[in-house]
């Protein structure tokens, strides 16, 4: 399962959380918001088809912020900031994804 799919599954199992993922995709920076199993780019167009991954397999995840939902861009409620992919792996494994 790709990192993006794992993160989407995580938010399905933790619907009260929102993930903000900063990643490098094909040499371009992107910020992706993941909430309740869906991903959306904040910097680039997002495909209308939810089966098209926003975070492809080759994406290099730079940092992940975990926030309390619902997401409010004016006043986000951060629970953890700047997690590396290696820091996120135990959380994913605890949820079985």
pTM: 0.93
* Count of beta carbons in the 10 Å neighbourhood of residue 18: 23
Contact criterion met (CB below 8 Å) for 6 and 59: no
Sequential pLDDT tens for the chain (97 residues): 889 999 999 999 999 999 999 999 889 999 999 999 999 999 988 888 877 778 988 899 999 999 999 999 899 999 999 999 999 999 999 999 9
- Domain chopping of the chain, boundaries: 3-94
What's phi and psi for 71, nearest 5 deg? -75, 130
């Amino acid at each position: 399962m790709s990192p993006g799919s794992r993160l989407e599954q995580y938010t399905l199992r933790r619907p009260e959380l929102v993930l903000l993922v900063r990643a490098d995709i094909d040499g371009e920076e992107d910020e992706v918001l993941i909430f309740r199993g869906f991903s959306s780019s904040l910097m680039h167009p997002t495909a209308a088809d939810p089966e098209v991954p926003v975070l492809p397999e080759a994406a290099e995840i730079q940092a992940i912020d975990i926030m309390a939902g619902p997401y409010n861009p004016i006043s986000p409620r951060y629970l953890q900031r700047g997690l590396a992919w290696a820091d996120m792996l135990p959380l994913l494994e605890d949820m079985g994804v």
